[in-house]
Structure 1
Amino acid sequence: MSEPVLTLTGVHTDIAQYHILNGVDLAVPRGGVTMLLGRNGVGKTTTLRTIIGHWQTKAGSITFDGTDITGQTVPARARAGIGFVPEDMGIFSDLTVEENMILAAVSGPLDPARRDWLFSVFPPLRTFWESPAGTLSGGQKQMLSIARAMAEERVLYLIDEPTKGLAPAIVSTMAGALRKLKAQGATILLVEQNFAVARALGDTAAVMDDGRIVWAGPMAQLAEDAALQERLMGLSMEAH
């Protein structure tokens, strides 16, 4: 087994007066998709935002690609190769789709070959390339949000609930895009409440409760054990 691309060791994070993460230990293998699962409010989003640096750790350490990044800024973590897709999409509504994508290419101009590949993954991007992002549908905005993180090849992609509130056809498109990204050898840490999507995409899984990881292992093992799902996650996951 190769070294994990990302390791959280005893990570604690506070938001205002609230203690959200209570000693998170998490190892994300290089390559493939790791699902970060659990009931609502257990700290999944806070974990992603702590990894990218939106929230600073109160204690513990974060190692990425062999380097301790615990004290690094958000831009430094992005330059190191971490892409982040927030739950609220994080797009610029007044800018065109093209301008959103140009801003997302932090290393230089958007590579035309990469752009064309993204058009093949998300065809609406080509259709609305010169349109303001604010005029897109909800599903199209989510496509743009994920495409922005994919504007350049990243070592690690952090993606927070990409299928939340989307129609089944758009969910299928999202799952297909993430599958193509995975096929390129990418490493993805994915928060997802749709258990069918998690089962289809995940290679490994980590389940959170009360601000810590309470179970980690192969996604297939969790998917095949209904009693384990019930014990770890109750009925909040969408099993169909």
Structure 2
Amino acid sequence: MSDPILRLEGVHTDIAQYHILQGVDLEVPRGAVTMLLGRNGVGKTTTLRTAIGHWGTRAGRILFDGEDVTATKTADRARMGIGYVPEDMGIFSDLTVEENMTLAAVSGPLVPARRDWIFGAFPPLRTFWKSPAGTLSGGQKQMLSIARAMAEERRLYLIDEPTKGLAPAIVSTMAGALRELKTQGASILLVEQNFAVAKALGDHAAVMDDGRIVWTGPMSELATDAGLQERLMGLSMEAT
């Protein structure tokens, strides 16, 4: 792969006494969707949190757009153009939807054209713009969580299980918004347990096991090879 937008080289991450990432080597290509897959507890969320700077590395390097950001603070990585959507949504329940979005625009006020694009991607946010975020449904909160990362254009989006526990109609809305991000030229690293979504959105795939990347390749190859799926993850996407 030539000139990836994100590269993790031999990254080790500890959380308390636990050695979670054990030499992760990962490249995320530009302008494409890379699916980070694997069974629960293998280090996918820790990989995203390490990439955005929530967790420090014990060893290894993280390069964003060719620049070593291993020691760079999370806020500075955001200013460089990395958006992050955590699994726990990370919204401020006591603030309105508008206030949540305003805080997310790290480079300045929310641009009206960007706001209108977000309204098109997630229509409920227009309806509840002045409402406290805590009053939204679970699916609407997830929309807001993703929209906050989209408050301004980012070069790379790190997104952790955006469709988890959501109704099919909302999953479809989420997938449409992520597909639109891709058409805008954004790069996306996406952790996703819904394999129908993974197959529909993914260009590339990286599979984790025991804190390491154990396979990388085209998403289409993984999606059509049931034996490979079983060997890497102990499951078959054909059953999903």
What range is the shorter-chain TM-score in? over 0.9
The 1-side partners of 2:13 and 2:237 are apart by 25
Cα deviation code 1:66-105 (max 9, x no counterpart): 1000001111111111000000000000000000000000
Partner of 1:138: 138
Are 1:178 and 2:183 an aligned pair?
no
How much does 1:2 deviate?
A: 3.8
Partner of 1:63: 63
Unaligned runs of 5+ residues in structure 1 are none
Change in 2 beyond 3 A, CA 1:132/1:209: same
Cα deviation code 1:124-164 (max 9, x no counterpart): 00000000000000000000000000000001000000000
Cα deviation code 1:11-66 (max 9, x no counterpart): 00000000000000000001110000000000000000000000000000000011
Partner of 2:91: 91
Partner of 1:123: 123
The 2-side partners of 1:239 and 1:223 are apart by 11
How many residues in Structure 1 have an aligned counterpart in Structure 2? 240
Partner of 2:10: 10
Partner of 2:206: 206
Is the 1:5–1:30 Cα contact (8 Å) retained in structure 2?
yes
Unaligned runs of 5+ residues in structure 2 are none
Output the TM-score relative to the length of structure 1. 0.98
How much does 1:238 deviate?
A: 8.5
* Structure 2 residue identity aligned to 1:116: D
SS of aligned partner of 1:216: strand
* Structure 1 residue identity aligned to 2:61: S
Output the TM-score relative to the length of structure 2. 0.98
The 1-side partners of 2:68 and 2:198 are apart by 29
* Structure 1 residue identity aligned to 2:234: G
Partner of 1:193: 193
Structure 1 runs of 4+ aligned residues shifted over 4 Å read 236-239
How much does 1:235 deviate?
A: 2.8
Partner of 2:152: 152
SS of aligned partner of 1:87: coil
The 2-side partners of 1:152 and 1:130 are apart by 20
The 2-side partners of 1:189 and 1:61 are apart by 18
Are 1:227 and 2:232 an aligned pair?
no
Is the 1:62–1:68 Cα contact (8 Å) retained in structure 2?
yes
RMSD of aligned Cα (Å): 1.1
Cα deviation code 1:188-220 (max 9, x no counterpart): 000000111000000000000000000000000
Is the 2:226–2:238 Cα contact (8 Å) retained in structure 1?
no
SS of aligned partner of 2:92: coil
Q: Percent identity, aligned pairs only?
A: 83
Partner of 2:81: 81
Is the 2:89–2:141 Cα contact (8 Å) retained in structure 1?
yes
